[in-house]
Structure 1
Amino acid sequence: MSKTAYIILADGFEETEAMGAWDALRRGGVEATFVSINDTTSVEGAHGLHFTADHTIDEIRRQPADAIALPGGATGTENLYQSDKVRDLITSQLRDGRLVGAMCAAPSVLGRMGLLRGKRATAYPGWEKYLEGAEVVETEAVVDGQIITARGPRYCFAYGVAILSQLEGRDKAAEVARGLLLHEQVAPLDI
């Protein structure tokens, strides 16, 4: 049976981060699906993308996944944090030994919940102040126990591969990373 991951979407989510993580997980054989925190599967991204998720959060509450992933976006992150259902889902994931990922601004949800104390974590520049009690590191993605955090949109594939490494192992993650050309240096744009 394949591993499963829910990518949790709130209005204002960062579209690239959701899609990049989904893509990397799917390439690695993980059954990744999108979950709306709204009453319907309709969700609007930070940049106006109207998106239809696979499920609502109420539909999956009794069907835990091996991992959940929270994309960032300032408004999306605040909507995630304000949702009792999302906070309950995060708590049950960790209590039951499953993975929780958050990237960009979304690690602040975990920080504000007190879940990063004594952990290494990263976030979008300026959001580190919400990583309460964490050792903040400036790197693309950080795995510390059950919690995976990532820095921002540029690293959406690295984030997905970091989650994949915990679900399917380093070899599968390395294979997917090679296919995504993550090993190549990105030259700065000459603008």
Structure 2
Amino acid sequence: MATVLVPLAEGFEELEAVTVIDLLRRAGIEVVVAGLHEGPVRGSRGTVILTDIPLDAVMDRDFDMMVLPGGLPGADHLNADPRIHELLRRTAEGGRYVAAICAAPKVLASAGLLDNRHATSFPGVLDNAGVPGLSYETRAVVQDGRVITSRGPGTAMDFALALIEALAGPDRRREVEAPLQRPV
């Protein structure tokens, strides 16, 4: 079974975090939700999430994918934490997936993981990131190799389904998507 780490910081975007966690779990993927600190984490709209574990407890563990929800100031808190950069680099260097949505692609940029890649984000987030060779796109989800990015809360379901497809294949994505009753 594939394993995914979703780190949460104070001020995360609820729609993005919960949609990713929910849909990946519907696909039978093990999702570990880790808080930057011990205890519950409050989202940007005041929703409180109980994490599975503090981030320090998973620092020596490898995951098949690491997914960063956006939101502000959540993405800024993720970006300011050197443990997040360490885990992102280790995941990418191990040939595994890194993914980010909304404001969180700037964390990938800061970790050097968007250099010479195609990516997207919430409009304006990557404008001043100074990413060498970045090819910015406005599609809902952009996958460049094992780096997957998305635009914002409105694209969270597309993003989560793309993550499922990357980890478990198109058939599993269709199995999860069919009962969601998405418009065609």
Report the TM-score range of the alignment, normalised by the length of the smaller protein: over 0.9
Q: Which runs of 5+ in 1 are unaligned?
A: 186-191
Task: Report the RMSD for the aligned CA atoms in angstroms.
Answer: 1.4
In 1, distance between residues paired with 2:64 and 2:83? Answer: 17
Bigger mean CA offset, 149-158 vs 121-130: 121-130
Task: State the SS of the aligned residue for 1:125.
Answer: coil
Displacement of 1:131 in angstroms is 7.0
1:35-184 alignment, distance < 5 Å = 35-38=34-37, 40-129=38-127, 130=129, 132=131, 133-182=133-182, 184=183
The residue number in structure 2 matching 1:10 is 9
Aligned sequence identity (%) = 34
Q: Is the 8 A contact 2:13 2:74 kept in 1?
A: yes
Task: State the SS of the aligned residue for 2:139.
Answer: coil
Amino acid of the residue matched to residue 120 of structure 1?
Answer: H
1:29-80 CA-to-partner distances (Å, cap 9, x unmatched) read 1011211111x03211111112210011111112221111100012001100
Amino acid of the residue matched to residue 7 of structure 2?
Answer: I
Which runs of structure 1 show a deviation greater than 2 angstroms over 4 or more consecutive aligned residues? 177-182
Displacement of 1:114 in angstroms is 2.2
In 1, distance between residues paired with 2:134 and 2:172? Answer: 29
Bigger mean CA offset, 123-132 vs 10-19: 123-132
Count of residue pairs brought into register by the alignment: 182
In 1, distance between residues paired with 2:36 and 2:88? Answer: 13
In 2, distance between residues paired with 1:41 and 1:54? Answer: 9
Displacement of 1:99 in angstroms is 0.8
In 1, distance between residues paired with 2:32 and 2:181? Answer: 24
In 1, distance between residues paired with 2:116 and 2:181? Answer: 33
Would the alpha carbon gap of residues 149 and 96 (structure 1) be closer, same or farther in structure 2, given more than 3 Å must change? same
Would the alpha carbon gap of residues 112 and 63 (structure 1) be closer, same or farther in structure 2, given more than 3 Å must change? closer
Task: State the SS of the aligned residue for 1:162.
Answer: helix
Amino acid of the residue matched to residue 110 of structure 1?
Answer: L
Q: Is the 8 A contact 1:71 1:103 kept in 2?
A: yes
Q: Is the 8 A contact 1:158 1:177 kept in 2?
A: no
Task: State the SS of the aligned residue for 1:74.
Answer: coil
In 2, distance between residues paired with 1:150 and 1:116? Answer: 13
Q: Is the 8 A contact 1:41 1:54 kept in 2?
A: no
